[in-house]
Each structure stands twice: as structure tokens, then as C-alpha cells.
Homo-oligomer: A and B are copies of this chain.
Amino acid sequence: MNEFDLIRRYFSRLTAGRPDVVLGVGDDAALLAPPPGELLAVAADTLVERVHFPAGADAAAVGHKALAVNLSDLAAMGARPAAVLLCLTLPRADEDWLAGFARGFGALAARFGVALVGGDTTRGPLAVGVQVIGYLPAGMALQRSGAQPGDLVCVSGTLGDAALALAGPPGCDAASADWLRARLDRPEPRVALGMALRGLATACIDVSDGLAADLGHLLEASGCGALVRARDLPLSPAYRACASVASLDGYRWALSGGDDYELCFTLPERRLAEVQAVCDRAGCACSPIGRVLARPGLYWEGPDGRERPLPAAGYDHFAAGGEGP
């Protein structure tokens, strides 16, 4: 069986019908009929072996994550995922790898009702390019640019788990280490939350490069600053088991670790109860972690109550620059 047969075999079930997919895989382009009056949201992200995942990484986890990071971009806009294109670059036709990849990719696609409508397969160093297309009503997109001074800054879920898994701190019990690892390998795109935040959040971004970097992007786009408080950062029990937050250093993964794929968003304080209700309905916790400031810059208040600048480049950078604890 050649590579094309393999791909047909493992991916054909992912191409099953949505009414808006007029023509799926198998022609020069796919044809979609978007819902009348809605906007398209389009994004693309590539995962490269040895950069985004280690050589020999579990194929199902790579399949899951390649789709999840793209769905997370749609979630951050408040868009409803519809279709996906998959560009696979593979060193060789490896049936086991493809079967695992398709399983991970396919389970997530099925869960969000996303149709695989196209892409290509290429021989070369292992890389996975994914492009997603979603829909959303005009005027309802969650952009980065709408934060207002006085707004609360919130994040979904917990922060720093994936980065902590990657760092592999010593003295982490096996159960906590496994839980953190699953957060790294199998991020959950916050699609339902993103859609529910339409009309509530004033700005939104997904946390892929770390809170400091991504909240920094949001603030830059909004022309504001913010202060976040260490004591309000949502940390998982596993995080607290594996990283001591007795010192400032224990917050580094939560502040600037990356790979969280949670949503960071801003809202007027008077909408907080509504937001908490939509978070509950979307099945994930949302935590207010700080406030938008009129003055530029991102600051954090440590558990010692002292306020420090938090450079967008992240904790490591600012530690090296002498601003660390």
C-alpha cells in the first residue's frame, strides 16, 4: 500500500459530510458554502518535529495537538470551527504513525464537527501544517484590540502546566507528572468558551507563547497596560505539587511558560457574573487575574505584594536582565 492509499484509508472517515461542504477532498480545491451573512475566520499553524514536538513523539498526540492549536486560534476569535486542511510532510510512509496520527487528529475533529476538506502530502522532514476555517456573525469577533482601562483580565483553566511538564522539575510525583504531561500533549481548545464570550469579552487571545507574551500582544493591540496578581493566577494542584510557589521563581511557568492554549480575555467588571455563568456552561473555570491599566506596560504583583514589570519576552528574559526575584 502506498502513501496515498494509506492516507485515503486513515483520513477518509474524517471527510464526512457537513451541509456546508459542497465538495470535499479529491478535486483541485474544496468548495464550502458559508452561512449567509457570517464572516469567515481563517488561521494556519505548523508543528515541526524537534521544534514543537520531540523526535519519536506519540503520533496520536501530534495529531491531536496540530488540530488543537488551530482550533484554539478560532476559539480566541469566538468562531465556530467548520473545516480544516491538512498538509503533512513525512519522511516515509509509516502506517503505524499515520494510523496513530489520524486517530488523534480524527477524534478531535469529530468532537468539534470539523470536516477535513483538503491539503496535501509531501515527502520531507516531519511537519504538520493545519489550516482551519470557522464562521462567526459579523461584528461579533473577539479581537485583541478592544481592552479598556479598568477592565478585568481573566484566563480560562490553569496556567503553566504544559511548560512545567516540559521542564520536568525534580520531585514531581508520578500522577502529577502524568497530568501535566497530558496538558502539554493534549491541549483542549476552548471553542465553546470563545463562542460564549461573544458580546461579553472586550478583547481575547489564546495563550500559546505564555501569559506575559500573549497578554502583552493583547495590551499592545488595545493601547493599554495591565497589572496581574500572582496570588490570583489559576494554578492546578499538579502545578502546586511540582513547583514551589513559596518563591517568586515558582510562578515562572504560569507567567511565561507557553503551550497553555487557554483563553486570556478582558471584560468590564460589571459583566463578571455573566462571564462566570458562561464559563460554567462551557465547562471550564475562568479566573480574574488582574486589571487593565491606562498606562502602558505589563506588571505583576508577587505574593510579597511588590509590583514588578513583566516583560512580554517572558520571565527567563527578564530574569536574565536583572529584574528577576
Stretch of A7-15, A75-83, A177-185 that contacts chain B = A75-83
What 0/1 pattern do residues 22 to 35 of A give for CB contact below 8 A with B? 11001111111110
From known contacts A39-B22, A85-B42, infer whether A29 and B118 are also in contact, taking CB-CB under 8 Å.
no
> Which residues of B are found within 8 Å of A273, using beta-carbon distances?
none
A14 CA / B14 CA spacing, docked (Å):
34
| A99 → B minimal CB distance (Å) | 22
> Which residues of B are found within 8 Å of A43, using beta-carbon distances?
28-30, 85, 118
Stretch of A44-52, A228-236, A317-325 that contacts chain B = A44-52
Task: Pick from B48, B77, B122, B131: contact of A31, CB below 8 A.
Answer: B77
Contact A143 B27 (CB under 8 A): yes
Contact A131 B77 (CB under 8 A): no
Is the C-beta of A199 less than 8 angstroms from some C-beta in chain B?
no
> Which residues of B are found within 8 Å of A145, using beta-carbon distances?
27
Task: Pick from B32, B83, B143: contact of A39, CB below 8 A.
Answer: B32
> Which residues of B are found within 8 Å of A76, using beta-carbon distances?
28-29
Contact B42 A83 (CB under 8 A): yes
Contact A46 B129 (CB under 8 A): yes
> Which residues of B are found within 8 Å of A79, using beta-carbon distances?
29
What 0/1 pattern do residues 129 to 155 of A give for CB contact below 8 A with B? 101111010100101110000000000
In the complex formed, the residue of B with least CB distance to A131 is B131
| A190 → B minimal CB distance (Å) | 12
Is the C-beta of A73 less than 8 angstroms from some C-beta in chain B?
yes
A131 CA / B87 CA spacing, docked (Å):
10
Q: Indicate the member of A29, A50, A76, A132 with the most B CB atoms within 10 Å.
A: A29
> Which residues of B are found within 8 Å of A30, using beta-carbon distances?
41-43
Is the C-beta of A40 less than 8 angstroms from some C-beta in chain B?
yes
Is the C-beta of A123 less than 8 angstroms from some C-beta in chain B?
yes
In the complex formed, the residue of B with least CB distance to A141 is B31
Contact B42 A134 (CB under 8 A): no
Is the C-beta of A117 less than 8 angstroms from some C-beta in chain B?
yes
Contact B123 A51 (CB under 8 A): yes
Contact A206 B129 (CB under 8 A): no
Is the C-beta of A62 less than 8 angstroms from some C-beta in chain B?
no
Is the C-beta of A159 less than 8 angstroms from some C-beta in chain B?
no
> Which residues of B are found within 8 Å of A133, using beta-carbon distances?
40, 42
From known contacts A40-B40, A87-B45, infer whether A205 and B117 are also in contact, taking CB-CB under 8 Å.
no
